[in-house]
Every structure is written in C-alpha cells, then in structure tokens.
Amino acid sequence: MKNTYYITTPIYYASGNLHIGHTYTTIISDCLARFKRLQGYDTIFLTGTDEHGLKIQQNAEKASKDPKDYVDEIVDKIKELWDLFNIKYDKFVRTTDPYHIKTVQNIFETLYKNGDIYKGTYEGHYCVPCESFFTESQLENGKCPDCKRDVTLQKEEAYFFKISKYADKLLKYIEDNPHFIQPESRKNEMINNFIKPGLQDLCVSRTSFKWGIPVNFDSDHVIYVWIDALSNYISALGYKNDEENLMESFWPADLHIVGKEIVRFHVIYWPIMLFALNLPLPKQVFGHGWLLIDGNKMSKSQGSVIDPIILSKHFPIDAIRYFLLREVTFGNDGIFNNELFILKTNADLSNLLGNLVSRTISMVEKYFGGVIPSQKEILDVDLNLINNVKNLKNIVTKNMDELKISNALSEIFNVISLSNKYIDETEPWVLGKDESKKDRLGTVLYNLCESIRVVSILLSPFMPDTSLKIKQKLNYKLDNFDSIENFDGTESGVSINKGENLFPRIDVEKKLEELKNS
Ligand code: MSP
C-alpha cells in the first residue's frame, strides 16, 4: 500500500487581498507537499477560504454586494494568486461550499445531542476586525490584545461548547505526545498561558449577524467562527457529508501548518472538538512565525503590506519562493525587505546556481558540440563531489522530515557551491586545450551534469519552475527520487539546450528605485 500524507494550511479570510505573509504560509505548505509527492507519498495538500462572519458581511455591505458575490470575487483572486506562485494544492475548501456546510451542521448537531454543546448567554468584549471575544483579563489596556483596537461589550443568547470538560484529557494528550505541538516553545506557551490557568467554555453561535452557517435545529443562530473554520480539515475529506470519504486513508492529518497567533485554536479547540467527535487528533500542529516589516506583522489595516502580485511583476516567482523558504528559519519570525531579497537573489541564484548551470552548459557546447559526454575514470578530486552529491538526498530528507526547510535548502546550495569549486579545481578550460585529455574533460563535465541533475530534482519542491527549466536545458529523462542515489542518472549522448540564463543579475539600485515607484 502507498503511504499517504495529508498537509493543510489555514483557510484564509476572504475579506481582502492577501499579502506576502499569507503567501509565505502557503509556499511552505506547498514545498512540504511537493517534497512528499517526490518521495512517492499519496499526498493531499489542502488549502481554502474562510468566508463567514461579521467582518465579511460588513465588507460586502460596504461594497454594496451580496456576501456570496463578494466572497466569490475574492476567492477567484486568491486562486489566481496561488496559481501565480505555483502552489499545487490538491483540494480547495470554501466554507460556503454546500458539502462543508453540511459537515458543520452535522458536527454541531452531534455535539449538541451528546451534551457537549449547551445554550446560555454570552457577555464579553468583542473585537469586530478580529471576530473574537475576549475576557476582561485578556484585554491589553482595555483594547484587543491582537490588533490593539477598541472592543465593545456585548451580551447575547448563544450556544457554548464544553471545552472545560476536556481540559485534563487535552493536557495529558499534549504531555504524552511531545511532537503534537511544534516548535517546543509554542507548546510551553499553550500549556502555561492557556490550558493550565483553566479553559472557559467556548461560545460557538451568534444571533447578532446572519452571514454564517445556520444551526439546523435553531435557525436564529449561526455557527460562529471556529467550529465552522476548523471543520474544513475534515469536511474536505468527506466527513459527515456526501462527498467521497477519504477519512480512512488520510485522517489523522500529518501536519497542520498555522501561523503562531492561531496555534491556540488548533491545539485547544480543535483537539477538543475531535475528542468530542471521537476522532483521532492530527499528528502535528506547527506554529510558524510571522513575516515582519520594520518589526511589525504585515497587516493591511496597518498599511505595511508587501503585495505579492506587485513583487511578482519585478522578480521571478522562484526567487521569491527561495527567499521565503531560505531566509526565514521555519518557526521563527523573519524579515522581508526588498534590498535583502535582491542581494540574496544575486548571491545565491545568479552567482551560485545560475552560474553553475550556464558554465557547465557552455562547456558541454564548446567541447562536445552540445552532447553530454560519458564518464570514464574517476579520480580522487571527483570523489569529494560525487560523495557529497550521493549523500544529498538523505541529508535533505532528514531536514525536511524535521521541518528544517531552510537547512534543507542550504545543504542543496552547499553542493552547488562545491560543484562550482569543482570547476575551479579541475580547470576544464585547461583540459580542453589538450586533445589527449578529452576523456578526462568528458568525465568532469559528466560529473557536473549529474550533480546539476540531482540538485535540480531536489530543488523541485522549492523552486518548481527553475527545476523544470534546468531539466529542459540538460534534457534529462530520469527525474524521480530513486534516481538520485547512485550518481549515474545522467544519460550520455543526449543533446542539451542552452536556453536563457536562469537568474540574470539584478541591478540593486535600479530595481529599488523601480520598486519605489510601483
Ligand atoms: N481564517 C483564519 C484561519 C482559520 S484555520 C481553521 C485565519 N485567516 S487569515 O487569513 O487571517 O490568516 C491565514 C494565515 O496567514 C494564518 O496562519 C496567519 O498566521 C498567516 N499570516 C498572516 N499574516 C502573516 C504574516 N505577516 N506572516 C506570516 N504568516 C501570516 O487566521
């Protein structure tokens, strides 16, 4: 039987344009999913949109649109953005999709019938933009602790989910399963700041607005945010709806990737919902950091947004993917800055990767008429490169298994640097002057082509376009994961295609000026 892998991103609010911070989350998940597919896993990568709630209802009113028409337009734009960034998702769930609505209503009813949901009155401090209620002690200087804006005191009849009933079970589960919440620091924060101080029952319905999934046995109420949103991870697998049921093969999820501010919902409410439904818990929830500009989280309302569409007009998509995956240590906050980004693109993608490919291809053209030569006698100087290339698959896999994405990339780039160094050591231009060294020259160039092939295959989850371009240039046929262990997958006698430079150098000053005016 094939191994399966199920990875998810949060579903994005369909309330406006997404910025580079959202794009970051999705690129990470896409990269991890692509890596699993490369390894041969039967993979589902799920993303989607969170389309209900007061904020969206208000945005639609402001735009004089029906809420569904309003979100339809936004969802189209989000899908276009993911296409632009080469995000290869397998499923896209919308919380307005009829199958999702059915799942959510069924879950709500099941929880109610089992006595896990009850009716009561809610009173609390509500933050409209964040769609969250806060207790007095959670407010910061009387304001919303997340966005720092004003909150209003609200009271209404509502259904409650008996979170408190499951608190001990949750704590035990987290303690017994040390990998459930990662990184470690987030786990400690959850236990000490939220679970141990005591969990309050969660308000899970609203009567004050209409744009939500109605409670099917009490139509004055709409199901409020987290039961609706979190259920997407199983509605997409056909749980309690009429779609194909993939629960048996794909649940529990292997990995929920979430930003640090929503870890809480994924490691408290979500597991408790699953306990109450008698379903197993996801194997891991990973809370990554934020992309920051000038030390602040990117936020449209605070005016500090890098628009991924504008960025994509100035730079190759793969350069953006590379920067985000390489420069931000997964788990920590990272900084996006145009200058840093251009410098990194020039240093790594033009100077190291681009140069290696173009030098090698030029030499195959110059000395062998564009046909890949064969490998003959191996010398000591070759062995260092060959062994490093052979080991690369395992090293990258280990890092990816541990979600050390940046390290995985830096290992690949070590081999790229080593290959450039190998050119300097073996001096093909000297060998090319002496007809008696033709075999030796052929071996050197074969080794370089094979090294590039392996690098290109391993880069495919990170930079899919670039990997494809290299494949077309070197015209290699073997591109699977098994073919990169023995240093023999390049076929001699095959004609290469020079094509264009992969990453032409960017003029830093000029580009920064252009960006200022865009
Ligand atoms: N709809 C909820 C999630 C429900 S999941 C069942 C939501 N949506 S969101 O659109 O606000 O955020 C989606 C994801 O984008 C979150 O994981 C969030 O952390 C991430 N990011 C938003 N801004 C970000 C940065 N500046 N940097 C990195 N990630 C960021 O929350």
Q: Is the distance from the beta carbon of residue 229 to the nearest atom of ligand 1 less than 6 Å?
A: yes
pLDDT in tens, 451-495: 999 999 999 999 999 999 999 999 999 999 999 999 999 999 999
Whether residues 177 and 305 share a domain: the answer is yes
Q: Are 256 and 72 in contact (CB under 8 A)?
A: no
Whether residues 104 and 64 share a domain: the answer is yes
Half-sphere exposure of 135 (CA within 13 A, CB side): 9
Q: Is the distance from the beta carbon of residue 389 to the nearest atom of ligand 1 less than 6 Å?
A: no
Query: Which atom of ligand 1 has the smallest separation from the CA of 291?
Result: 27
Q: Are 28 and 405 in contact (CB under 8 A)?
A: yes
Looking at the domain assignment, is residue 331 inside a domain? no
- DSSP sequence for 95-124: TTSHHHHHHHHHHHHHHHHTTSEEEEEEEE
Tokens of 427: 């001096």
Q: What is the pLDDT of residue 297?
A: 66
Distance 258 CA to ligand 1 centre (A): 7
The average pLDDT across 403-411 equals 97
The beta strands (E) that lie in 420-512 are given as none
Q: Is the distance from the beta carbon of residue 32 to the nearest atom of ligand 1 less than 6 Å?
A: no
Whether residues 239 and 308 share a domain: the answer is yes
Mark which of 278, 312, 346 sits at the end of a domain: 312
Whether residues 116 and 66 share a domain: the answer is yes
Distance 10 CA to ligand 1 centre (A): 7
> pLDDT band for position 67 (50/70/90)?
very high
Query: Which atom of ligand 1 has the smallest separation from the CA of 289?
Result: 28
Q: Is the distance from the beta carbon of residue 464 to the nearest atom of ligand 1 less than 6 Å?
A: no
Looking at the domain assignment, is residue 23 inside a domain? yes
pLDDT in tens, 385-399: 999 999 999 999 999
Which residues is 514 bridged to in the sheet?
none
Map residue 132 onto helix, strand or coil. Answer: strand
Which CATH number does the domain housing residue 149 bear?
Answer: 3.40.50.620
Whether residues 119 and 232 share a domain: the answer is yes
Q: What is the pLDDT of residue 8?
A: 98
Q: Is the distance from the beta carbon of residue 261 to the nearest atom of ligand 1 less than 6 Å?
A: yes
CA-nearest of 22, 72, 77 to 51 is: 72
Q: Is the distance from the beta carbon of residue 324 to the nearest atom of ligand 1 less than 6 Å?
A: no
Looking at the domain assignment, is residue 323 inside a domain? no
Whether residues 301 and 445 share a domain: the answer is no
Q: Is the distance from the beta carbon of residue 94 to the nearest atom of ligand 1 less than 6 Å?
A: no
Distance 93 CA to ligand 1 centre (A): 16
The average pLDDT across 435-439 equals 97
pLDDT in tens, 228-266: 999 999 999 999 999 999 999 999 999 999 999 999 999
Whether residues 177 and 68 share a domain: the answer is yes
Residue position matching structure tokens 């780039």: 413
Q: Is the distance from the beta carbon of residue 336 to the nearest atom of ligand 1 less than 6 Å?
A: no
Looking at the domain assignment, is residue 102 inside a domain? yes
Looking at the domain assignment, is residue 504 inside a domain? no
Whether residues 355 and 290 share a domain: the answer is no
> pLDDT band for position 2 (50/70/90)?
low
For ligand 1, atom 15: residue with the closest CA = 22
Q: Is the distance from the beta carbon of residue 488 to the nearest atom of ligand 1 less than 6 Å?
A: no
Q: What is the pLDDT of residue 80?
A: 97
Q: Is the distance from the beta carbon of residue 290 to the nearest atom of ligand 1 less than 6 Å?
A: yes
Whether residues 253 and 391 share a domain: the answer is no
Q: Is the distance from the beta carbon of residue 13 to the nearest atom of ligand 1 less than 6 Å?
A: yes
Whether residues 303 and 436 share a domain: the answer is no
Total domains in the chain come to 2
Whether residues 12 and 134 share a domain: the answer is yes
If you average pLDDT over every residue of the chain, what do you get?
A: 94
Looking at the domain assignment, is residue 136 inside a domain? yes
Secondary structure percentages of the chain, helix, strand, coil, to 5:
55, 15, 30
Looking at the domain assignment, is residue 511 inside a domain? no
Looking at the domain assignment, is residue 420 inside a domain? yes
Which CATH number does the domain housing residue 463 bear?
Answer: 1.10.730.10
Mark which of 296, 312, 328 sits at the end of a domain: 312
Task: Please report, for residues 295, 402, 485, the alpha-carbon distance to residue 482 in angstroms, rounded to integers and kept in the order given.
Answer: 43, 21, 6
Map residue 33 onto helix, strand or coil. Answer: helix
pLDDT in tens, 164-185: 999 999 999 999 999 999 999 9
Mark which of 252, 279, 312 sits at the end of a domain: 312
The average pLDDT across 279-286 equals 98
* 2 phi/psi in degrees, rounded to 5: -70, 145
Residue 283's domain comprises: 4-312
Q: What is the pLDDT of residue 216?
A: 95
* CA–CA distance, 454 with 247 (Å, rounded to integer): 35
> pLDDT band for position 146 (50/70/90)?
confident
For ligand 1, atom 21: residue with the closest CA = 22
Whether residues 21 and 82 share a domain: the answer is yes
pLDDT in tens, 194-222: 998 989 899 999 888 899 999 999 999 99
Distance 12 CA to ligand 1 centre (A): 6
For ligand 1, atom 16: residue with the closest CA = 259
CA 214 to the chain's CA centroid: 32
Tokens of 145: 């602790």
Q: Is the distance from the beta carbon of residue 298 to the nearest atom of ligand 1 less than 6 Å?
A: yes
For ligand 1, atom 17: residue with the closest CA = 259
Which residues are within 8 A (CB) of 55 and not within 5 positions of it... i.e. 6 or more apart? Answer: 13, 15, 128, 129, 131
